[in-house]
A and B are shown apart, each in its own frame.
Chain A
């Protein structure tokens, strides 16, 4: 077996040159080599979707991907959605719909939302369901997440992409509960 394979990866906008054992999974590279711990391992076999990241803009299970096959790829995790002190419209929408319960699944759902809204800001109900069904939420936040997708689309349509984190947090408590 080859000892390591050199891989050029762009993760959240930053370029990395990594020497990776050929059998290393993307989830392990991201979590343990690079420290992006938003990605979670649930099942390790493509079923739960907790490990979904975006590879070249499309959802991908990082538990079923070998890093060595990704030379030249661009990867996005939620850590890369907005710079320090800012929140992305998708994060704001997820906060405001108060869908997040334990939060284990939330990064995957946000990234699914990102990839869907990159394709269209007017997804049909059925499309939203198809996409969100890629991940499992143990706490049952699906209906909140569904609303969050619509809300994020509204912000993005108005050109509102980045929000000031402090402002968002301050106003969060004044918002009525969504039903």
Chain B
């Protein structure tokens, strides 16, 4: 049995025989209304698992600079037509390095609410997404909600995806940054990429984060983070699409551009 949300991942996996054909599909349409919302409650943003990407684009997430990375992901996601029915929950649970909302959410450290007849439990992304298409969700559970903490005022994010075309791409390198500045000091920074090493799902560049934490933001500091620190914790794969060397190079570029774009957004610059 498999829950069916937008079906843009699941139906293709079945079509291409990448998974055994499920005996039953559980159509989530019947409860889609209850599971699609973006609610701002005090210091939390609660996102229903069946919220479509288009619905996300109509919410606070596309209006407040603290969530600017959501706008970046949206406009690079598949095509407009697909954004009307692909869901954010389906994106997380597709659990591959190509799931852009997963890469972005990684820096927001969300709580994920799973429900079953036994009740609710809450997991972090790292507890839920173990590896490519390997999840800690049980067959009798549904993803109900994604909860992120409202970041401090002087915060913004940025997401970037690189490939040979602008749209309809899986992204040979994707990355996200969530940055909090105090004047020009990096008060907090979270960095994610589609892959760091080994696990074929998005992960955090923690050493690079630690290096940047508390430092004055400057060209030199970011250069050192990208050129010296990031490569020490990152191992990129070569495959049919491109080489590991190219991926590492582009990762450095993504990191630098993301940090400076997030910083410009915090300052209200273009």
Mark A residues whose CB is within 8 Å of B: 1, 22, 44-47, 49, 52, 58-61, 64-66, 68-69, 112, 130-131, 133-135
Contacts and interface: CB of A to CB of B under 8 A. Distances in A.
Contacts of B168: 47
A130 B12 contact: no
Interface in B52-110: 54, 75, 78-82, 84-85
A66 B11 CA distance: 9
B35 to A, nearest CB: 15
Interface stretch (B21-29, B124-132, B136-144, B171-179): B21-29
B15 A46 contact: no
Contacts of B7: 64-66, 69
Q: Which of A49, A61, A133 has the most CB of B within 10 A?
A: A61
B81 A112 contact: yes
Q: Which of B15, B78, B81 has the most CB of A within 10 A?
A: B81
Contacts of A59: 80-81, 84
B253 interface: no
A64 B15 CA distance: 10
Interface residues of B, number: 21
Given A46-B12, A64-B12, A130 B81 contact: no
Interface in B229-260: none
Q: Which of B8, B54, B82 has the most CB of A within 10 A?
A: B82
A112 B82 CA distance: 12
Nearest to B28: A69
Contacts of A64: 7-8, 11-12
B115 interface: no
B85 A60 contact: yes
A80 to B, nearest CB: 18
A58 B84 CA distance: 7
Contacts of A130: 75, 80
A131 B23 contact: no
Contacts of A60: 81, 84-85
Contacts of B79: 49, 133-135
Interface in B13-44: 15, 23, 25, 27, 29
B30 to A, nearest CB: 9
Given A45-B15, A64-B12, A134-B82, 8 more contacts: A47-B168, A59-B81, A59-B84, A60-B85, A68-B27, A130-B80, A133-B167, A135-B79
B4 A134 contact: no
Contacts of A112: 80-81
A66 B80 contact: no
Contacts of B81: 49, 52, 59-61, 112, 134-135
Given A66-B25, A69-B27, A61 B80 contact: no
Contacts of B78: 46
Contacts of A133: 79-80, 167
B86 to A, nearest CB: 9
A44 B11 CA distance: 11
A140 B132 CA distance: 37
A127 to B, nearest CB: 9
Contacts of A44: 15
21 contacts: A22-B25, A45-B12, A47-B168, A49-B81, A52-B81, A59-B84, A61-B81, A64-B12, A65-B85, A66-B4, A66-B25, A69-B7, A69-B27, A69-B29, A112-B81, A130-B75, A133-B79, A133-B167, A134-B81, A134-B82, A135-B79
A135 B80 CA distance: 9
A46 B82 contact: yes
B80 A131 contact: yes
Contacts of A22: 25
Contact of B23 (A1, A52, A61, A68): A1
